[in-house]
Chains A and B, each alone.
Chain A
Amino acid sequence: MYGWIWRQLPGNAWVRALISLVLVLAVVYVLFQYVFPWAEPLLPFNDVTVDEGSGATP
């Protein structure tokens, strides 16, 4: 997978490394900005209130 991506990138090794870095940063950005905020309420790590467990998120 990563090898395949590397081979698709244009330019010499330095250019490829630079593009790879940009791609990695883009992925991290998307994860922090969109994916994790979406996933977090679905995971049982951060509920702090007491409630009746009616299903309504506190």
Chain B
Amino acid sequence: MSRSRRRAAAPTGNRSVLAGFLSLLGEFLITLGLVLALFVAYSLWWTNVLADRQASARGDEVRQLWTRPPTAGAQAAPGALDTQGGVGFLHVPAMRNGEVLVKRGTAPDVLNDGVAGYYTEPVKAGLPWDASGNFSLAAHRDGHGAKFHNIDKVKNGDAVVFETRDTWYVYKVFAELRQTSKYNVDVISAVPKESGKTAPGRYITLTTCTPVYTSKYRYIVWGELVRTEKVDAKRTPPAELR
């Protein structure tokens, strides 16, 4: 009697332990799925909210600074840089994302504020007002403002305009590299050979990651300066932006 009862009880006990374990595992997996879904929401939405907020505040500060008359000491040199606040704004009509504040450096803490950064390493960028050089920029494709999200919409002949305190630098896109290795630092050299150029000039290079939502490769767009325009009192944008 007692033996048969024990025999009957034993499988039930095992089964309940197994059921408990499986239900715990199931709950854990559901939790993991929810956390991953939340991470996607964080990456693709929340970081944009934070970055756009930052970028527009910093951009307003730069514009505010520009409206003030240059003070004798601090702004003596032409095109004097406030590298903290940002050097100017990038306008790429083909990307249809308005203006992008440009700051010094490409470290994550710079780019994560929804700006484009110009390279300081591995190859130092030339600045637009230099006699020659490559103004190489990086920005996020997704998340953190996703300022270069639509880089694939930029075609040869499209305008890329960089706005500083006193000058519009109008560039024209002449080449692109839709996919390249992330170690291909030659693309940001002063004379980017892969774009087909062999002589020094005033170039601009946009870099970001590709395909979208990953960073396996890099997407490169090259432009060349076609002209500069003095900023007038009303900051009338050049024809390309109208």
In the complex, the chain A residue whose C-beta lies closest to that of B28 is: A1
Closest to A57 in B: B108
Interface size classification for chain B? 35 or more
In the complex the two chains form, is A36's CB within 8 Å of B42's CB? yes
Interface on B for A, CB 8 Å cutoff?
A: 24, 27-28, 35, 38-39, 42-43, 46-47, 106-108, 111, 119, 121-122, 138-144, 148, 180, 182-185, 187-188, 207-209, 213-215, 218
Q: 21 A-B pairs, CB-CB below 8 angstroms?
A: A32-B38, A36-B43, A45-B43, A45-B215, A46-B142, A46-B209, A46-B215, A48-B106, A48-B141, A48-B215, A49-B106, A49-B119, A50-B184, A50-B187, A50-B188, A51-B121, A51-B185, A52-B183, A53-B183, A58-B106, A58-B107
User: What residues of A have a CB within 8 angstroms of the CB of B180 in the complex?
Assistant: 50
Asked whether A2 is an interface residue with its Cβ less than 8 Å from the other chain, the reply is: yes
Residue contact A39 to B108, C-beta cutoff 8 Å = no
Contact A48–B208 (Cβ < 8 Å): yes
Distance in angstroms from B33 CB to nearest chain A CB is: 14
CB-defined contacts of B107 to chain A, threshold 8 Å: 57-58
Q: Which residues of A are found within 8 Å of B215, using beta-carbon distances?
A: 44-48
Within 8 A of B (CB), among A1-27: 1-2
Given the known interface contacts A31-B42, A46-B143, A58-B107, the answer about A52 and B28 at a Cβ–Cβ threshold of 8 Å is: no
Determine if B142 and A53 form an interchain contact, defined as CB atoms under 8 angstroms apart: no
- A27 CB to closest chain B CB (Å) equals 9
- Expressed in whole angstroms, the Cα–Cα distance for A32 and B41 within the complex equals 10
A31 touching B38, Cβ below 8 Å: yes
Using A28-B38, A51-B185, A52-B183 as known contacts, list a sample of 6 further A-B pairs with CB atoms less than 8 Å apart, ordered by residue number in A. A31-B39, A36-B38, A36-B42, A46-B140, A46-B215, A51-B183
